[in-house]
Amino acid sequence: MKEQPSAAGDIPLPGGSPRVPDGARGFGFSDIRRPDIWLILSASIALLVSIPVITVLVMSTVSTGDIWAHLASTVLTVYVANTLILFVGVGVGTILIGVTTGWLVTMCQFPGRRIFEWALLLPLAVPSYILAFVATDMLEFSGPLQGALRDMFGWRTMQDYWFPDIRTIGGAILMFSLTLYPYVYLLARSAFLQQSVCVLEVSRTLGRSGLSSFFQVALPLARPAIVAGVALALMETLNDYGTVKYFAVNTFTTGIFDVWLSYNNAGGAAQLASALLGFVILLIALEQISRRQQRYHQTTSKLKDLPGYPLSRGRATAAIAACLLPVLLGFLLPASVLAHYAFESFRDTFGSAFLSDARNSLLLASVSAVIAVFLGVFLSYANRLRPGKALTALTRFSVVGYAVPGAVLALGVIIPFGWLDNYIDGLMRSAFDHSTGLIFSGTVFALIFAYVVRFLAVSFGAATSGLSKVTRNMDNAARMLGRSPLGTLGAVHLPLIRASVITAGLLVFVDVMKELPMTLILRPFNFNTLATRTYDYASDERLWEASLPALSVVIVGILPVILMSRALRNSRPGH
Amino acid sequence: MLRRSLTLAAATMVGMTGAAATSQAAGEVNLYSYRQEFLVRPFLEKFEADTGIKVNVVYASDGILERLKAEGANSPADVVLTVDVARLKAIADANLFQPVSSPVLKKNIPEQYVGDDGGWYALTLRSRILYASRERVPEGAITTYEDLADPKWKGRICTRSGKHVYNRSLIASMIAAHGEEKAEEWAKAVVANFARKPQGNDRAQVKAVHEGQCDIAIGNTYYYALMKNNEKQPEQKDWAASVRPVFPNQDGRGAHVNASGAGVLKSAKNKENAIKLLEFLSSDIAQEMYGELNHEYPVKPGVPQSAEVRSWGEVKFDTLALSKISDNAEPAARLADRAGWQ
């Protein structure tokens, strides 16, 4: 059999995952004479989920006049340059914070480590746009910080002193890095946790220093996980509209919106979105090619206790500072500012509207999370059972929805659903003289579908990266003992990848709670969520009224964070 | 466990779909609104109380046009409400509005504020004016939009993005007044005078004048009133106090006005209620309420302005039909790109 470069475990973006051992291939348990239910189901799911992206691609084939020439001669270079700067900045920022802190709390002993283990995840509960609102409020000329400085030094006007402007591309990089590094932290930490300490010990025995072992051994081993984390962070950055708009940093995404809304040129917007998609796919491909020859998986399932290097006093202080700073800036400060505002505005803002917003948010988030996780695990497992180029390619394509800016994805949802609704309505009218109206578009159905399309990448990535660590020998053993593929999944894989699955579900949950652009476009009548309410007020620079819903998004985001960290810690057997 | 949670998910979804779907029974009207909830809610409540007609609303700022196109003839929406005429025009251009002829609307809303064939109706007027620093800009130093291009204001002007509908509409009115070439020269000169890159909303510009970052801001009229009377965030009173509102071009064509407005969709299942809603929004009571609540100018002649607005005195507004200005919306957007007014 010819060597196939893209086989089973090598699927994912953004899950970026290891390959399977070669021996696993060609072990076919599948009985090709029967219709292959796994193949059919997973291909159907992948196709269904791909519909919005396909719609966008189709939309981009319409003629769009001279819009490209206009953009190319005016603003396109700025958009592209800003996007690249953001990419590099956020990439470096999230890696620096996420990997450093992930390593420190996993491998070192210092006071507060146990708290930081979960506290470092907290900024994940703060949407970038909310951090941007709060940071601006704190750091601008009339904010408390500059006010205090003026009082202290007797300055009066802006001309008397220099203070960094937060509403810049640097400010945006800071906002994104602080709120998105937990993706890298989470995945890096779970990779560090699963690494065999023996490998590290061998490295130490062979004379490497701790630091050098980290760079030469642990980091390369964790690379797939880190890359997956950064990919998530960068795609969130691409999808963001609130923060960059508030900071007046024009990016490629701004361009997409502008072409769509200022020029009423949805086709042109779809073309820009497709170009962006192409760019993302290229990045993913480059990354995967770069580690084509590498294999990452444990050779043994025996895990020794983590070493917990004790740190000297000076180093411990530095470690505490390194862990505290992101939590402080990314969570504690914004949350306390919001809490302060929310406390003062409570009488104005708390009421039945708030409660119904909260209910909507929670329901949408939990339903979408359950569906996304179910589909993510299913697709990932199907890819393991049926390695093959076609299914792999289809699955990969079905999760790229994550790379499309939410608002554009919303377009890709509205258009086919609208068509389907009208089609069904037409059928029903002619057959039964009964109009069904719009069943799918304009209801929470469309909204949940959109969330699942967008966040399937998160659950699929986590499931795949979890499954890739389960050696094929387990599958083989279970199957030989008479378990069906589904039985094997339930009895063997799910318990083993429980942590990954829980993490995936919680990530999707928090993501949906925070999601803004799609919710704004697709929401049904008389329907608000905590995020849309926050945005309505904050975009009118009314942080006062926005504070309670904003704080609620943050607080709800904390709960999964706590569960996630427990699951993470328990994911290492015997730890 | 998985099965149980899935059943739960499915049940919830069905429940929510049912609850959120809107009925098309008599006694309802379905609204897609670009205006934010806290501004619109009081009117709709009053309308509901007066007529017994229930108003269902989707508040959205983007994507309404595409949603309407996709929903087609089955769209549940009856009325679209926007804060800017360019968006009304875009919906009209997509052939989604139906002409409405109502004696009440005809009587209440002057012709210059009505779309072609009664496709849409302006409901409130918002003028785009200049705010000059009381400390640093002597009275009479700036009196027209054209003056903004004067090099003496280099590094002294603040405004939001040129792509925002308010500024786009202002640029469109400059195109209408001077032609595209002259308007572009003007926009480039204005951009050269900016104190900072465009950012924030209109309120933020006045605040920047207060903080000394710039001396002249471009903004809509009602923000001044909202800041001046802001009891919840009293610091905004200081921002307002630091500027003097300047209504431009009073010796010429008058100050530029934009409008919030609405139209009835072709797909409307509740057409009668939709027209009733428009009529209500153009009535004395709603017009006056709007003035009191958001300090915009009533579109209906003879309706008293809010006390705050009255205190600004008699103002001359550009009499050019709003539909003529919205015709320039796309050229204005391109012009903003070319001028670097991002």
pLDDT digits (tens, 9 = 90+) for A500-550: 788 788 889 988 998 988 898 888 888 899 998 888 887 777 778 889 999
Between chains, do B211 and A141 touch, taking CB under 8 Å as contact? yes
Q: What is the pLDDT of residue A510?
A: 86
Pick B207's closest partner by Cβ from A142, A247, A417.
A142
Instruction: Name residue A28's amino acid.
Output: G
Interface of B with A in 241-300 (CB under 8 A): none
pLDDT digits (tens, 9 = 90+) for A342-390: 998 888 778 888 999 999 999 999 999 999 999 999 998 888 888 788 8
Q: What is the pLDDT of residue B21?
A: 42
Q: What is the pLDDT of residue A154?
A: 82
Q: What is the pLDDT of residue A501?
A: 85
Which pLDDT band holds residue A23 (cuts at 50, 70, 90)? very low
Using a pLDDT cut of 70, give the percent of chain A over it. 88
Q: What is the pLDDT of residue A277?
A: 85
Test the B interface: residue of A160, A258, A262, A508 with most B CBs within 10 Å: A262
- Whether residue A162 is predicted with pLDDT greater than 90 in this model: the reply is no
Between chains, do A537 and B38 touch, taking CB under 8 Å as contact? yes
Between chains, do B57 and A526 touch, taking CB under 8 Å as contact? yes
Q: Of the segments A131-135, A424-428, A488-492, A536-540, which one has the largest average pLDDT value? A: A131-135
Q: In chain A, which residues have their Cβ closer than 8 Å to the Cβ of B158?
A: none
Using a pLDDT cut of 90, give the percent of chain A over it. 23
- Whether residue A24 is predicted with pLDDT greater than 50 in this model: the reply is no
Q: What is the pLDDT of residue A549?
A: 92
Please, what's the b/e burial string for A287-326 (b: 16 or more CB within 10 A of its CB; e: otherwise)?
A: bbeebeeeebbbeeeebeebeeeebeeeebeebbebbbeb
CA–CA dist A402, B88 (Å, integer): 32
Question: Which parts of chain B have pLDDT scores under 50?
Answer: 1-3, 5-6, 8-9, 11-25
Alpha helix locations (H) across chain B? 2-20, 37-51, 64-71, 85-93, 103-108, 165-178, 180-192, 202-210, 221-228, 235-241, 271-282, 284-294, 307-310, 322-327, 329-339
Q: What is the pLDDT of residue A15?
A: 37
Q: What is the pLDDT of residue A294?
A: 58
Mean pLDDT of chain A: 82
Q: What is the pLDDT of residue A573?
A: 52
Least confident of A72-81, A322-331, B169-178: A72-81
Q: Please state whether beta strands B216-220 and B157-158 pair in parallel, antiparallel, or not at all (unpaired).
A: parallel
SS3 per residue for B37-94:
HHHHHHHHHHHHHHHCCEEEEEECCCCHHHHHHHHHHHCCCCEEEECCHHHHHHHHHC
Which pLDDT band holds residue A1 (cuts at 50, 70, 90)? very low
Helix, coil or strand: residue B131: strand
- Predicted structure pTM score: 0.82
Cβ-Cβ pairs closer than 8 A, A with B, add up to 172
**What sign does the dihedral A38-A41-A44-A46 (CA atoms) show?**
negative
CA–CA dist B50, B104 (Å, integer): 17
Please, what's the b/e burial string for A204-235 (b: 16 or more CB within 10 A of its CB; e: otherwise)?
A: beeebeeeebbeebbbebbbbbbbbbbbbbbb
Between chains, do A526 and B20 touch, taking CB under 8 Å as contact? yes
Q: In chain B, which residues have their Cβ closer than 8 Å to the Cβ of A371?
A: 6, 9
Between chains, do B72 and A418 touch, taking CB under 8 Å as contact? yes
Mean pLDDT in residue range A90-96: 97
Q: What is the pLDDT of residue A198?
A: 65
Pick A167's closest partner by Cβ from B24, B199, B211.
B199
Residue among A24, A23, A20 nearest A12 (CA) = A20
pLDDT digits (tens, 9 = 90+) for A187-218: 888 888 776 666 677 777 777 777 777 777 77
Q: In chain A, which residues have their Cβ closer than 8 Å to the Cβ of B9?
A: 366-367, 370-371
Q: What is the pLDDT of residue A370?
A: 95
Q: In chain B, which residues have their Cβ closer than 8 Å to the Cβ of A142?
A: 207, 210-211, 235
Q: In chain B, which residues have their Cβ closer than 8 Å to the Cβ of A419?
A: 70
Which pLDDT band holds residue A575 (cuts at 50, 70, 90)? very low
Judged on CB neighbours under 10 Å (0-12, 13-18, 19+), B313 is exposed
CB-CB neighbours of A145 under 10 Å: 12
Mean pLDDT in residue range A120-129: 90
Q: What is the pLDDT of residue B177?
A: 96
Helix, coil or strand: residue B254: coil
Residue among A97, A128, A90 nearest A553 (CA) = A128
Which pLDDT band holds residue A33 (cuts at 50, 70, 90)? low
- Whether residue A228 is predicted with pLDDT greater than 70 in this model: the reply is yes
